[in-house]
Structure 1
Amino acid sequence: ADFNGDGRLDIYVANDGMPNFLYVNRGESVAPRFENQSTLLGAAVNFQGKAEASMGVACGDYNGDGWMDLFLTHFYAETNTLYQNVDGASFRDETISAGLGPSSRSKLGFGTEFFDPDNDGRLDLIVTNGHIDDFSYKPGSPPYAMLPQLYRNQGGRFEDVSRWAGAFFQKPEIGRGLAVGDWDNDGDIDAAISHQKTASALVRNDTETEHRGIFVRLIGGPKSNRSAIHTIIEAEGEGVQVPLVREVIGGGSFQSHSDRRVHIGLGEAEPLERLKITWPSGKMDEWGNIKPGHYIAVEKQFLLPSPTGH
């Protein structure tokens, strides 16, 4: 993702038991091109200065300021960590203030993603959990199988709504991989989760909401990349003061890859007045009066409804 807004793709690496890496892309004319600045920028360790056992990582603009933030899952007895991107200049650990600390300390998190299952325009969080060892023979030990978690974004602070999220979130599993996408093509975003010793799960989103969203499949031109990684999409509507910003991310979660189609829950931005796409090449496309649904966008050519949703 582009963490500092300079138009160049940076790389974040979540490490197990040591400080995380943030390789800032300084451009082709600088050697080395990528420099690890995680400590300098505040994304290496938590607010206590401790390196954690990072497992999964998610990237997205959770607070709606246009900058890509980071969420990391960690080992049992550690909290997961939310790094807020502060104007592209540094990162700040907002785990506690965002309500993500205590509920994660009794879990061992793996796959995770930012996503918007209720289409309200705010990115929520989903986490799959499970220990790496089975200590069931030792009384008082942490469980092997653990409950997955769903956090609803209440405007920068998250509420654990797992108990109301359906039967899947009530069954402990040894969770590992996690990906999100509209696998049934019904206009909202679902999840797929793998488990250590049981079958993987397709989790269908049946959230009742008045909001709608759009999905955009991006195809980059010769000067970008066909997968359109690092493309920025901005959605503007009469009900929002700042655009909803999404970026095509090159990786994340844990040993998983989510739907490449970009999902934007419109929330108060409906009706959608303008959709702006900034491609990795620097070229920009704009369209107006977009209706909710699935679309295919090809760099500097067209935006078409996708008849099959794919």
Structure 2
Amino acid sequence: MELTFDLDGVPLGEPDEHIFAEDPIGVWRVPLDTPLGDATLYVRWADDPDSAAEIPLEITAPRFVDVAEPTGLAQTHDATGSPAECAESHTGVAMGDYDGDALPDVYVGNVGTSGRLFRNLGNIDADSEPDFVDVTDDAGLGGVDSVAMATFVDLEGDGDQDLFIGRRGTNRMFENRRVPDGTPTYVDVTAALGLDLDSQRTMGVAFGDYDGDEDLDLYEVNHAFCYPEPGFEIRAEDHLYRNDGGVFFEHTNELSPSAGNSVGFSAAWVDLERDGDQDLIVINDDVGGDIGDPNEVWRNDGQGDTGAWTFTDVSLSSGLGDGSWHGMGIALGDVDGDGFVDVAFSNIRENVLMLNQGDGTFEDVSAAAGIERAEFPWGRDSITWATHLWDHDNDGDLDLYFSGGTLQATGPVSDAFFDNVGDVDFVDLTWESALADPAHGKASALGDFDRDGAWDLVTAAWSDELRVWRNLAIGNHYLDIELVGRAGNRDGLGAIVELTTDVGTQTCFHTQRPSLGAGGETACHFGLGSETEITTLRIFWPDGTIQDVTPPAVDQRVAFTQPPA
């Protein structure tokens, strides 16, 4: 097999395949039908025939393949109308089962035109891929543009998935009427819920029950509204909303007078110390100057004497806010198997992985773990956005993905993918996995859209084609666990699941998988390797109930319901 690569678009000889490049640095794709095995890459400058070089290659089978076309999800992000002074940072994508058929559907955001909702019909044409159909207008979601993020959530606890859409402008909260009316259609309830604040750019949200009253509260993460002229900014501050009786009331002052004054991208409620309540992590873009602040961590200390909820700012002491990072995406998971939640987040230059020490502090192990990738071999800085921790190959440990993309279309920056080979040791498999995508990747959602046990990715690039990455790494055993909570927290957000086999214990922290600009499937996914029996399965529900359940058979998706109060 011979490949040629001419760095100015002039063919050299008669190769089997030919790749043209006008930019001498970056990422280019080898054609999908290139035979596997040994190959030779010939590289030269078009105006200097003597500069040709021969580079031996091995073409290996990919771990992921883009199936946007055969699934019916192929589309290009519409970025028209975005002001030139705005960073190219918001796309928006969400995965969730809006119609109750046990298959994840997909919502994809746009700027200049309406976002689109695609219903998953399953594999109706027997081509090994699920089939999606656009149901936006029928579902009542037409006309929602300027989308920055999206996530499905059962907000009122009636058993169907509602949809929150963060925008540059007024956010939109849509109630799913599938359970009340029998049809999966959406009604805009933004104003009725008290969430119709204007003039913001919501890049992420975190739903969670921080006050323990069994309904979902909300933290909105806002970035700068954009920069109309040099030296001037319109700050879009964050907001903490408490859910009381199905209506949201702002309680941002329960954090501190300065809370929400940063420019952020993502957030999550999670029990950092496993003391039974939900703490808050906010990933901020520390751009410097008057509006730049590090990440924030708010420890939940419960209800105070005045009746107000109390939080303690532990940003610096925890280590998560002790650094000047351009933080963007967030991923949560127990990477080292100690039962405490670890945190990964994206950045300009080095990616970051922080291990929870179990005492309220985190250690930066990014360099030792091998996941930094500060720059490419050709000198361009790495810039990453959405972030996922999940066991892509079901071998029993969590792997790490970052979408990659530039700020202002200055050239290709690939995604990054790191395979955990054990003991928090990661190997860069970006190229071998076929995830070295040169598009300007931003938001990304995680879920198993074909229900084969190997979780897939949907990544929304700025002004580029949607990537629908089907995971080909099947073979090992797995178990997916859905949780059904009580009352207004029907999704069971904040629960913790521990699964034990003869190899050891894995811990799942039940969240919306916030990533960046997105929300994924909430089920706990456990890769089991060659293990075929589960020894124990324990669920720690948000109200403090500990439930030991009979271990199910492997290689399936099961659901467990929170016991009555």
TM (norm. structure 2) is 0.48
1:281 corresponds in structure 2 to 543
2:129 corresponds in structure 1 to none
Structure 1 runs not aligned, ≥5 long: 136-142, 302-310
2:428 corresponds in structure 1 to 160
1:9 corresponds in structure 2 to 278
Instruction: Give, in whole Å, the separation in 2 of the partners of 1:283 and 1:131.
Output: 45
* 1:213 lines up with 2:478 in the alignment: yes
Listed one character per residue, the Cα deviations across residues 53-79 of structure 1 (whole Å, up to 9, x for unaligned) are 11111111111111101111012xx31
* Preserved contact between residue 332 and residue 341 of structure 2 (Cα < 8 Å): yes
Shift of 1:102: 3.4
- Misfit runs of 4+, over 6 Å: none
2:470 corresponds in structure 1 to 204
Instruction: Give, in whole Å, the separation in 1 of the partners of 2:507 and 2:455.
Output: 17
Q: After the TM superposition, which residues 24-103 of structure 1 pair with which residues of structure 2 at under 5 Å, given as runs? A: 24-29=299-304, 33-46=310-323, 51-75=324-348, 78-102=349-373
Partner of 1:25, secondary structure, is: strand
Residues 1:64 and 1:270: Cα distance change in structure 2 (over 3 Å):
farther
Residues 1:214 and 1:65: Cα distance change in structure 2 (over 3 Å):
same
* 1:176 lines up with 2:442 in the alignment: yes
Listed one character per residue, the Cα deviations across residues 114-140 of structure 1 (whole Å, up to 9, x for unaligned) are 0111111100001101011133xxxxx
**Which one-letter code corresponds to 1:110 in the other structure?**
W
Instruction: Give, in whole Å, the separation in 2 of the partners of 1:246 and 1:19.
Output: 27
Shift of 1:41: 1.4
Residues 1:268 and 1:236: Cα distance change in structure 2 (over 3 Å):
farther
2:528 corresponds in structure 1 to 266
Residues 1:35 and 1:268: Cα distance change in structure 2 (over 3 Å):
farther
Shift of 1:269: 4.9
Of 6-15 and 89-98, more deviation after overlay is shown by: 89-98
**Which one-letter code corresponds to 2:353 in the other structure?**
L
* Preserved contact between residue 237 and residue 268 of structure 1 (Cα < 8 Å): no
Of 64-73 and 292-301, more deviation after overlay is shown by: 292-301
Instruction: Give, in whole Å, the separation in 1 of the partners of 2:433 and 2:516.
Output: 22
Q: After the TM superposition, which residues 202-241 of structure 1 pair with which residues of structure 2 at under 5 Å, given as runs? A: 202-209=468-475, 211-222=476-487, 225-240=489-504
Instruction: Give, in whole Å, the separation in 2 of the partners of 1:16 and 1:269.
Output: 41
Instruction: Give, in whole Å, the separation in 2 of the partners of 1:113 and 1:59.
Output: 8
Instruction: Give, in whole Å, the separation in 2 of the partners of 1:188 and 1:68.
Output: 22
* Preserved contact between residue 238 and residue 270 of structure 1 (Cα < 8 Å): no
* Preserved contact between residue 272 and residue 288 of structure 1 (Cα < 8 Å): no
TM (norm. structure 1) is 0.86
Residues 1:269 and 1:26: Cα distance change in structure 2 (over 3 Å):
farther
2:14 corresponds in structure 1 to none
Using the aligned pairs only, state the percent identity.
26
* Preserved contact between residue 332 and residue 509 of structure 2 (Cα < 8 Å): no
1:132 is aligned, of 407, 417, 431, to 407
Structure 2 runs not aligned, ≥5 long: 1-269, 287-292
* Preserved contact between residue 58 and residue 72 of structure 1 (Cα < 8 Å): yes
* Preserved contact between residue 83 and residue 92 of structure 1 (Cα < 8 Å): yes
Residues 1:174 and 1:220: Cα distance change in structure 2 (over 3 Å):
same
Instruction: Give, in whole Å, the separation in 1 of the partners of 2:367 and 2:404.
Output: 20
**Which one-letter code corresponds to 1:58 in the other structure?**
A
Instruction: Give, in whole Å, the separation in 2 of the partners of 1:79 and 1:148.
Output: 13
**Which one-letter code corresponds to 1:294 in the other structure?**
R
* 1:149 lines up with 2:422 in the alignment: no
Partner of 2:317, secondary structure, is: helix
Instruction: Give, in whole Å, the separation in 1 of the partners of 2:355 and 2:449.
Output: 30
1:107 is aligned, of 357, 382, 398, to 382
* Preserved contact between residue 119 and residue 267 of structure 1 (Cα < 8 Å): yes
**Which one-letter code corresponds to 2:426 in the other structure?**
F
2:392 corresponds in structure 1 to 117
* 1:300 lines up with 2:563 in the alignment: yes
**RMSD over aligned Cα atoms:** 1.8
* Preserved contact between residue 481 and residue 559 of structure 2 (Cα < 8 Å): yes
2:455 corresponds in structure 1 to 189
Shift of 1:289: 3.6
Partner of 2:302, secondary structure, is: coil
Residues 1:104 and 1:124: Cα distance change in structure 2 (over 3 Å):
farther
